[in-house]
Amino acid sequence: MARDDSQLLIEDMKSFNVVKSHLVPCGVCALTRPHKMRYQLLECASETCNAATPYDPCSWRGKVVTCQELNRVTILEQGAHETLSRDPHKPQLTPRLKDNGREMAKQGLKPARDRIDQLAFGPAVTDTQPFSFGWERNGNGKPNVGNGSDEDSFLVGFSTKYLFRNAARDPSLFVFHMNGTFKLNQVAYPRLEELYVKALFSLRRMFTAVTNKQLQLQYVMADAEAGQLNAIKRVFAMDSNLTYLMCFYHVMAKVYERLKAVTGSLREQVTADIYDMHFASSEYTYGHIVEKA
């Protein structure tokens, strides 16, 4: 039978292990010129058969012979399974998928690039459909995934049209949050400002593409790190009146550092007052807490 037909039959069989696989002179086809065939012996590996007779191996055996010249397959079975109950289905790579993977490898194609292309922003993207943006293309028009270094980094963003349009409003009504998890180089200086600028410029371009407006910011909360502050100013200060807010975590980190020499009860009171101010529900409540503190 043809290879595709044999694969359908094999997929319908119970689980098995290939215990022997050799290339030997072909003896199953009518070709006269010398060529090889793949000779495989199979043993039952079914969980249900093993559960039915845990101390005796299943008597089922199989043999698969594949002509390497004509790609024709012969399947033989001997014996019977201990039970006809089917095993839980486990996903497997079919020969077609394996052939497709080999062809992609020959052409230098990477699944990551295909997935990025499939998720790319385009006219067919709906308001709530996630899409990717920010990545660059190489000379062949494929996404450049880089190598993870600072010199050849990979930048990719994910969002939806709805989220972008949600920011197309009065900038005084929301806070732009920016968070960075970063690595320091050997001399402990972050080398990230240019990466921040690249990411923010990409975000701003995509915002304009979706809303036909410029992204306006007034309040920006980020880490207490000069690279983020400089990047925000370079990208948005040209047409935004920015107020840079320090991340609350870094505020409390500095507070705890200063309170090390303070007695326990006073330290607890200061910390509680700061948290009350931070979570105040209104400006009036905040002012009342400040006066009380």
Give the DSSP letter string of 176-190.
EE--------TTS--
Mean pLDDT calculated for residue range 130-159? 79
The answer to whether 164 and 125 are in contact (CB under 8 A) is no
pLDDT of 156 reads 83
The pTM of the full predicted model, rounded to 2 decimals, is 0.52
Confidence of residue 77 (pLDDT cuts 50, 70, 90): very high
pLDDT of res. 182: 57
Take residue 203 and report the two structure tokens written for it: 């975000």
Confidence check: pLDDT of 145 > 80: no
Q: Binning pLDDT at 50, 70 and 90, where does residue 103 land?
A: confident
What average pLDDT does the segment 30-42 reach?
91
Mean pLDDT of 53-64: 92
pLDDT of 136 over the 50 cut: yes
pLDDT digits (tens, 9 = 90+) for 237-246: 888 999 988 7
**Overall average pLDDT of the 14-19 stretch:** 91
Q: Identify the sign of the CA torsion 252, 254, 256, 259.
A: negative
Distance CA 23, CA 167 (A): 65
Residue type, 114: D
Q: Which of 229, 165, 51, 253 is CA-nearest to residue 274?
A: 253
